[in-house]
Amino acid sequence: MSKHDVAVAGVGMHAWGKWGRPFVEYGVAAARDALKDSGIDWNDVDFIVGGETVRNGYGGYVAGATFASALGWNGARVATSYAACATGAQALDTARTRILAGLSEVALVVGADTTPKGFLKPNAGERWDDPDWLRFRLMGMTNPAYFALNARRRIDLYGATQEDFAAVKVKNAKHGLSNPNARYRKEFSVADVMASPVVADPLHLMDICATSDGGAAVVLTSVEYAQRHGLTGPRINAISTVTPTFPQTQLDMPYFSSESTAAAPAPQYTHKEALARAAYEEAGISPEDVDVAEVYDLSTALELDWIEDLGLVERGTAEQLVRTGDTSVGGRLPVNPSGGLACFGEAVPAQALAQVCELTWQLRGQAEGRQVEGARVGITANQGLFGHGSSVILSA
Amino acid sequence: MTETAIPAVEGWFTTGPEPALVGTKCTACGNISFPRETTFCKNPACPGETFDDVELSRRGTVWSYTDAQYQPPEPFIPATDPYVPFALAAVELPEGLVVIGQVADGYGVDDLTVGAEVELVVEPLYTDDEGVRTIWRWKPAGSASTKEQQA
Ligand SMILES: [Zn+2]
């Protein structure tokens, strides 16, 4: 479909949960799973990229080499990538770029993490020049507070309700029931979500994703390699990791102010819209071609924002899709058939890869119990700290 | 406020009866920044490296709002024990930027709507060894909260 295509030869995951083991174990388990899925031997991998994890000490900062060592040194080229929640996609893009340049043929991309309980918070120490530290010290702005600002705007501007947000959780929980890698596999009702305590008005505890341990891995090859070896998996047609455009007028974690329109007007597209547009342009498709989407439901309300940011419906109308069941498996445009972060929780360097794993299973018709029938084109989207974000397009 | 009241962060806002946030204006392109810019202009079309301090407008409109019903983790320092939840607002200023702050003492999410007018005030944030630390906050414009008006 695109001259930027690379082949997805194999995908694998370590189930999400709170397992209390080192992140390396989750990453290597996922990598072995992905290699087995591809039928490619580790010794035939000529490039490995690790998604960096920042809460697990020195080995986490050099994740590529850490995973390579654990799998057994095989002499491959190596890289490590960090881009907050977009880490996995950026790692994937690093692998894709080397393959497209003709410098590598088979790449293994791995992300894994362990996370503490409760609110994500900055590393210890006093840092008055660090916006991530200052937002907590000066105003107590947690991640859910940012999610809540966006959720509140949907209510006040578009007439969304807390019940609409709860309906997203209900849908994703139902999707995740059949996903063996999901941490939470339990059905909930709108009443259950509404009965959970409010964390940051208007969001309840069950509107907000948890933190988890987990791992995911993807084996990429050149299209020529795939053809030569009879590999028939999906293709990655686009990976978008664009930065915001000045002035960044949308509030984004961890900043507590936006850029000003004093010197230049706001850009035509917001950062999240720009991420999607770059992906569509690179893949040579439009939003109408999308059959299934995996988006970052850090909060239930953010899933609704993403559906609009991806151009799938007009701004301010996404809750209609949820109300009519269109975003459920079996509906017109299923969103987060994996169960999303609602069922997985955040394992930061793994999550953007997990989205690609799910779309691979969807496009191969292997997503048992949550299969989007006839899915040919899928898109992922996520957003991270410091102007990071990504969108990946895959097709069967 | 006591005599020992010190801004929690230095140089970011003025105090007194008409407090204001202190931002910077690029001397080359006029870009306005808050917090203060001191190194390189963020405008990709501008090579500017010098900035004038400017006081930002004291009034703006609410872009959105929320509250913190659970105590935020460190480095947040709670003002009281037990913890008392507070509200937060993101406010659009006439200078074309949005600035988050806590909402003034005594006001909550029920006093706010997207688009409503708010005014900057300075209030105590926490107390440390050197005294009371103050911070900018957003106060719903008009003297009485909507709750009081509806009562
Ligand atoms: Zn400038």
Q: What are phi and psi of A394, to 5 degrees?
A: -120, 150
The CATH classification number of A6-118+213-233 equals: 3.40.47.10
- pLDDT greater than 90 at residue A124: no
A205 interaction partners in chain B (CB closer than 8 Å): none
Q: CA distances (Å), B81 to each of A134, A176, B69, B133, in order?
A: 22, 40, 14, 17
Alpha helices in A249-368 (DSSP H): 271-283, 300-309, 318-324, 340-344, 348-364
Q: Which of A4, A97, A108 is nearest to A50 (CA)?
A: A108
**In A69-94, which positions are buried (b, 16+ CB within 10 angstroms) versus exposed (e)?**
ebbeeeebbbbbbbbbbbbbbbbbbb
The predicted-structure confidence for A80-91, as pLDDT tens digits, reads as follows 999 999 999 999
Alpha-carbon span A35 to B94, nearest angstrom: 56
**pLDDT value of residue A291:** 98
Alpha-carbon span B90 to A130, nearest angstrom: 20
* Nearest-CA distance B89 → chain A (Å): 8
Q: Any chain B CB within 8 A of the CB of A198?
A: yes
pLDDT band at A139 (very low <50, low <70, confident <90, very high): very high
Residues whose beta carbons lie less than 5 angstroms from ion ligand 1: B 26, 28-29, 31, 41, 43, 46, 48
Contact B31 A139 (CB under 8 A): no
Q: Any chain A CB within 8 A of the CB of B57?
A: no
SS3 content of chain A, % helix, strand, coil (to 5): 40, 20, 40
Higher per-residue pLDDT: A124 or B122:
B122
ipTM: 0.93
Q: Which of B82, B84, B121, B79 is nearest to B104 (CA)?
A: B121
- pLDDT greater than 90 at residue A27: yes
Contact A262 B31 (CB under 8 A): yes
| Inter-chain contacts counted by CB atoms under 8 A, chains A and B | 140
Alpha helices in A216-284 (DSSP H): 223-228, 271-283
* Nearest-CA distance A348 → chain B (Å): 19
**pLDDT value of residue A56:** 81
Q: Which of B16, B15, B6 is nearest to B133 (CA)?
A: B6
Domains and CATH numbers, chain B: 58-150 (2.40.50)
Alpha-carbon span A104 to A46, nearest angstrom: 6
Q: Which of A378, A208, A186 is nearest to A303 (CA)?
A: A208
* B26: nearest CA partner in chain A: A263
C-alpha dihedral sign at A187, A189, A192, A193: positive
HSE-up (13 A, CA, CB side) for residue A307: 28
- pLDDT greater than 90 at residue A50: yes
**pLDDT value of residue B151:** 39
Q: What pTM value is reported for the model?
A: 0.95
* Nearest-CA distance B109 → chain A (Å): 8
pLDDT band at A2 (very low <50, low <70, confident <90, very high): confident
Helix, strand or coil for residue B131? strand
- pLDDT greater than 50 at residue A288: yes
Is the distance from CB of A39 to CB of A230 less than 8 angstroms?
no
Stretches where chain B sits below pLDDT 70 are: 1-3, 142-151
Alpha-carbon span A334 to A327, nearest angstrom: 4
Bridge partners of A299? Answer: A208
**pLDDT value of residue B3:** 56
- pLDDT greater than 50 at residue A364: yes
Domain layout of chain A by residue ranges: 6-118+213-233
- The whole-chain average pLDDT of chain A stands at 96
Q: Any chain A CB within 8 A of the CB of B8?
A: yes
* Nearest-CA distance B151 → chain A (Å): 22
Provide DSSP, A107-145: EEEEEEE---SSS--PPSS--TT-HHHHHHHHH---HHH
Is the distance from CB of B121 to CB of A162 less than 8 angstroms?
no
Q: Which of A41-50, A95-104, A115-124, A201-210 has the lowest mean pLDDT?
A: A115-124
| Candidates A121, A128, A157; nearest CB to B73 | A121
C-alpha dihedral sign at A318, B111, B61, A133: negative
Q: Any chain B CB within 8 A of the CB of A243?
A: no
B46 CA to centre of ligand 1 in angstroms: 5
pLDDT band at A1 (very low <50, low <70, confident <90, very high): low
Alpha-carbon span A114 to A53, nearest angstrom: 8
Percent of chain A having pLDDT more than 90?
94
Q: Any chain B CB within 8 A of the CB of A21?
A: no
Contact A138 B135 (CB under 8 A): yes
The predicted-structure confidence for B46-57, as pLDDT tens digits, reads as follows 999 999 999 999
B23 CA to centre of ligand 1 in angstroms: 13
Is the distance from CB of A332 to CB of A307 less than 8 angstroms?
no
Helix (H) or strand (E) holding B90: strand B86-93
**pLDDT value of residue B93:** 98
Work out the angle at residue A66's Cα, subtended by the Cα atoms of residues A60 and A68, and round it to the nearest 5 degrees. 150
Place of tokens 């949907």: A154
